[in-house]
Amino acid sequence: MDMQQAEWDILVIGAGPAGLMAAIGAAACGRRVLVLDRMPKPGMKLLATGGGRCNITNTLPPDELMARFGRQGRFMEPALRGLDNAGLLAFLAKIGVRAHCADGFHWFPVSESAAAVQEALWRRCEKLGAGFRFNCRAERILLSDGAAAGVETPQGVFTAARVILATGGRSYAGLGSDGSGFGLASHLGHTVKPPLPALAPLVVREEWVPECAGTTFAEAEVWIDLPKRRAHRMRGAVLFTHRGVSGPAVLDLSGDVAGLLETMPEVPLRVRWQLAESAADWTRRLDSWRREHGGRLVRNLLDEKLPASFAMALATACGAAETKAANLTAEQAARLVEHLTELPLHATATEGFGKAMVTRGGVSLKEIRPETLESRIVKGLHLAGEVVDLDGPCGGYNLQWAFSSGLLAGRNAAAESTKT
């Protein structure tokens, strides 16, 4: 392919937050940019983030934010140096999206609308002259002399000096992230760590859990009950569902659970859903119930302290649904105290990519230059956002990475396109 005949300076595959930001970064440098996306409009997954409210970022400084991404978090440093949370908020304000931080940690648009962010990014792209082709699926990244030189699609071949891969992972496939980017990268020789659903609800085997569907505990602690895993605990809300458990604390742990389920049939969990009460507190309470309310059913006494459905389910799980307080055996009491303080559950699955907010896994970071996000395998190919092997917890972390990495990829692709 004759690079001198390239139609575009930059091709961006994917019109999510990373792709839109990459287009903005490149077009702002005066480059001819075309964005390809298989969906009918840009940012469809973005519209679903934060329950449609779009948790843009959070208040953590870069070092702390990177730490929440685990051992690979330092890879983000150049991207965050170019666009940290303050820079992102300033940029969004400049293009018409004011944000607020009502709880002191999470930043949302003042409008509480993800559509406001999506529309502002799209308008900015168009104002800078970036072009779009929707309902256009990238089938193959083309090479010339070993360097990225274009993209083959059902609508034809588009040529460019540089290509940015920002397709997302596999979460919310119906909104555009179908994992196709992994195939595009793998075809070029990149190593792709097998994708797993992350930030996804968990399915548990305990049959009593569906009876509690809808019960929420605003402040709980969840951990994997395995050696070397117990110290890694997540705090936040826990929600019981018809299939298991969800809520921020569970979602943040779900990627680790998904990884363990690759090699074991189920993963033991513990949930402290009442942080203020210890095992000793509950032991004393059960003893007082025996003495003072011996004729009453244990489940009715629990009902005065817990949501009704949860009280009944716990009493049933501990074999004490029809037991009077005076007749409570030592074994029943021990099980109740355990369930009331460190509730045992067993995850058998996640609810999959259809419910996962992000993807764990992706293109190996070892094969990407963090300073430019250019591939070490294919010259002229840059990668941004969820397509790479980097994922963080709930709370604006992953969107911050998408925006920051997209801008870094776009700017560097623009700078290098003049040298090609």
* 3-state class percentages of the chain: helix first, strand second, coil last, to nearest 5: 40, 25, 35
6 confidence band (pLDDT: 50, 70, 90): confident
> 174 pLDDT band (50/70/90 cuts)?
confident
Decide which of 35 and 174 is more confident.
35
Q: What is the pTM of this model?
A: 0.93
E strand or H helix that includes residue 10? strand 8-13
Amino acid at 280: A
pLDDT category at 380 given cuts 50, 70, 90 is very high
Q: Alpha-carbon distance 217 to 273, whole Å?
A: 6
Q: What is the mean pLDDT of residues 19-30?
A: 98
Residue in this structure with the two tokens 């992953």, named with its chain if needed: 398
- Average pLDDT over every residue of 367-395: 98
Computed on alpha carbons and rounded to an integer, the radius of gyration of the chain in Å comes to: 25
Residue 5: what pLDDT? 57
pLDDT for res 266: 98
Q: Do 357 and 200 meet the contact criterion of CB atoms below 8 Å apart?
A: yes
Q: Quick one: 3-197+358-417 is in which CATH superfamily? A: FAD/NAD(P)-binding domain (3.50.50.60)
> H helices within 111-210, ranges in order?
114-127, 180-187
Range of lowest pLDDT (46-60, 119-133, 395-409):
46-60
Q: What pLDDT shows up at residue 1?
A: 43
pLDDT at residue number 220 = 96
**Pairwise CA distance, residues 316 & 299, whole Å:** 8
pLDDT at 4 over 90: no
Q: Indicate whether 3 pLDDT > 60.
A: no
pLDDT in tens, 264-307: 999 999 999 988 899 999 999 999 999 999 999 999 999 999 99
Q: In which residue ranges of the chain is CATH 3.50.50.60 found?
A: 3-197+358-417
Summarize pLDDT for 85-102 with one digit per residue, the tens.
Answer: 999 999 999 999 999 999
Which run of H or of E encompasses 81? helix 77-82
Inform me whether the pLDDT recorded for 162 exceeds 90. Answer: yes
For the cut 60, the answer to whether the pLDDT of residue 46 exceeds it is: yes
The residues that bridge with 13 in the sheet, in sequence order, are 36, 165
Contacts within 8 Å (CB) and 24+ apart, 77-84: 77/370, 78/370, 78/371, 78/372, 78/408, 79/370, 79/373, 79/401, 79/404, 79/405, 79/407, 79/408, 80/400, 80/404, 82/404, 82/407, 82/408, 82/411, 83/403, 83/404, 83/407, 83/408, 84/404
pLDDT (mean) for 375-396: 97
Q: What is the band of 420 on the pLDDT scale with cuts at 50, 70, 90?
A: low
